[in-house]
Amino acid sequence: MAVGIFDSGLGGLTVLDAVARRLPDVPFVYLGDNAHAPYGVRTHDDIFNLTCGATERLWDEGCDLVILACNTASAAALKRMQETWVPAQKRVLGVFVPLIEALTERQWGDNSPPREVAIKHVALFATPATVASRAFQRELAFRAIGVDVEAQPCGGVVDAIEQGDEILAEALVRSHVEALMRRMPHPQAAILGCTHYPLMQKAFQDALGADVKVYSQANLVAESLTDYLTRHPEFHGSGTRSKFMTTGDPSYVSSKATQFLRRQVVFEAA
């Protein structure tokens, strides 16, 4: 009954950690496409093709349900995958919707018409490809009206995090927050629209100020996945063993992942 977790690199490990704590009896198979990371600067067609290939690899591992724990893949590829590519007996889900449900104070699966919500000014921090897709704004429009979203493409942050350069990552975060706040001086909420960014949540919060509510994804996705599997037990899949796989160098990725999660993580070749 394995569930697949996919990311372009290491960021999805923040989601994996949260869902594994929430669902300790479920095996999770993680696949990082480290050989092609970062996705945030790639074309939508490229992201679509890479994400489909990774998803098929997770299906081979007995994961009938795959979570795209990558905002760029969720933004640039998920809708097209669901509409044109995913077979009826499989499911591929993204990480945007749980975040938007929390922002708009909706219960899981609430498909009622969009309505007014308390938060009117939202800052979105994401990769250039996620920002260009406008997927967050599209999903938000299904659930809320009258919300102003100012998006900031955060070039360089993912690379700095993956390289373990915390000082550079924090400096980039401050720079991107300052750039956004020149356009939206008083956001009420901030969305960290990349699964790498929870590691920089304090830096984002410090730069934004204590009055801004910062929404991060990992725990919200864990709650949503728990609810989904309760309602759809047929997608537990046939896999029985948790594992970590990478398209990159397993030794190098294992070392970086161990630093990333602050516990030993061993990857094998995908």
Q: Does the structure show a pLDDT above 80 at 110?
A: no
Task: Say what the pLDDT of residue 109 is.
Answer: 67
Task: Say what the pLDDT of residue 41 is.
Answer: 87
Closest among 215, 168, 217 to 187, alpha carbons compared = 215
Task: Say what the pLDDT of residue 216 is.
Answer: 85
pLDDT tens for residues 203-258? Answer: 999 999 999 999 988 989 998 999 999 999 888 878 889 999 999 999 999 999 99
Predicted confidence band of residue 151 (pLDDT cuts 50, 70, 90) = very high
Sketch the domain layout of the chain as residue ranges. Answer: 3-94+218-269, 97-215
Predicted confidence band of residue 163 (pLDDT cuts 50, 70, 90) = confident
Percent of the chain scored above 70 by pLDDT?
Answer: 99
Q: Does the structure show a pLDDT above 80 at 116?
A: yes
Whether 63 sits among the annotated catalytic residues: the reply is no
Q: What is the pTM of this model?
A: 0.89
Of 52, 63, 70, 154, the active-site residue reads 70
Task: Say what the pLDDT of residue 40 is.
Answer: 87
- The CA R_g of the chain, rounded to the nearest whole Å, is 18
pLDDT tens for residues 168-215? Answer: 999 999 999 999 999 999 999 999 999 989 989 999 999 999 999 999
Fill in the amino acid letter for 141.
Answer: A
Overall fold of domain 97-215: Rossmann fold (3.40.50)
Average pLDDT of the residues in 34-56: 95
3-94+218-269 and 97-215: same fold?
A: yes
Task: Say what the pLDDT of residue 105 is.
Answer: 85
Predicted confidence band of residue 97 (pLDDT cuts 50, 70, 90) = confident
Residue 194 half-sphere exposure toward CB, CA atoms < 13 A: 34
CATH architecture of 3-94+218-269: 3-Layer(aba) Sandwich (3.40)
CB 125 within 8 A of CB 150: no
